[in-house]
Amino acid sequence: MSIYAIGDVQGCWVELQRLLESIGFQPGRDRLWLVGDLVNRGPQSLEVLRFVRSLGDAAITVLGNHDLHLLALARGHVKPRDDDSLQAVLQAEDRDELLHWLLQQPLLHREGDTLMVHAGLLPQWDADQAEALAGEVQAALRGPEPDRFLSQLYGSQPRAWHEQLQGADRLRLIVNAMTRMRFCTADGEMDFTAKGEAATAPAGCLPWFEVPGRRSASNTLVVGHWSALGVRLSPRLLALDSGCVWGGRLSALRLEDRTLFQVASTRPLVSW
């Protein structure tokens, strides 16, 4: 059995199928780890959702910011954005089944010392705490009142973690760290304005994974979200968003030997 971690798909169905063909993926033998953002901006989010759901236990996906946006949009808590490409999902005859399935997906997946999360972890969080905090969000989504959570999801405050945070502020910060973060200060205050390469960090900030003393540094983290960062493979960081939806590539990493597989996007290359 092989485990293949795959970067942000974002509705790039054709590229996903080409990538799986190139690695010889077999659902009865292999497993897929998907780093989140299955949907949006690409042309075939509906096909991607149907396919990944059909794989059952052969695929594990964590929620990304675009996946959460779809859930909030479908339940009327946010208006469509100009660059959304989610109408096919929202109008599908099986939309309720697909959205219910998506609602059940975790914010973080952990096996041994390896954690998969869409964006990253704040420097104050070790693996155990991160897993527990993700569980709080998962409980809110899977509980009797997911609308209460989704209606309070949007916003960039608070920007820094405090153990005393409660309610919507606490859950929103957890989600923002795990699905939106790129840069933060040494104290863990997040910046949501900068989206460029790691070298373009705002004053006083670092890429979250370069913060000295980060408490999850002894774990291997599998992430996506940061297309301008591109594929970055180090002993404890496996960053896999290679910007397929922007005309880059879709990437898969075989975890046992860290062999990288990529297919080119069918979309024209644009700056991201």
Lowest mean pLDDT among 38-42, 83-87, 137-141, 267-271: 267-271
- The predicted pLDDT at position 268 comes to 85
Q: Residue 272 above 60 pLDDT?
A: no
Q: What is the mean pLDDT of residues 120-125?
A: 98
- The predicted pLDDT at position 125 comes to 98
CATH architecture of 3-264: 4-Layer Sandwich (3.60)
- The predicted pLDDT at position 225 comes to 98
Phi, psi (degrees; rounded to nearest 5) at 195:
-130, 10
Q: Is the pTM higher than 0.75? A: yes
Q: Residue 269 above 90 pLDDT?
A: no
Q: What is the mean pLDDT of residues 25-38?
A: 97
Residue 245: name the closest of 270, 224, 223 by CA.
270
Domain ranges of the chain: 3-264
Q: What is the pLDDT of residues 54-65, one digit of tens each?
A: 999 999 999 999
Residue showing tokens 């608070």: 158
Structure tokens at 46: 């509906």
Nearest 5 degrees, angle CA 224-CA 109-CA 121? 55
3-state secondary structure of 126: coil
* CA–CA distance, 212 with 223 (Å, rounded to integer): 19
pLDDT band at 237 (very low <50, low <70, confident <90, very high): very high
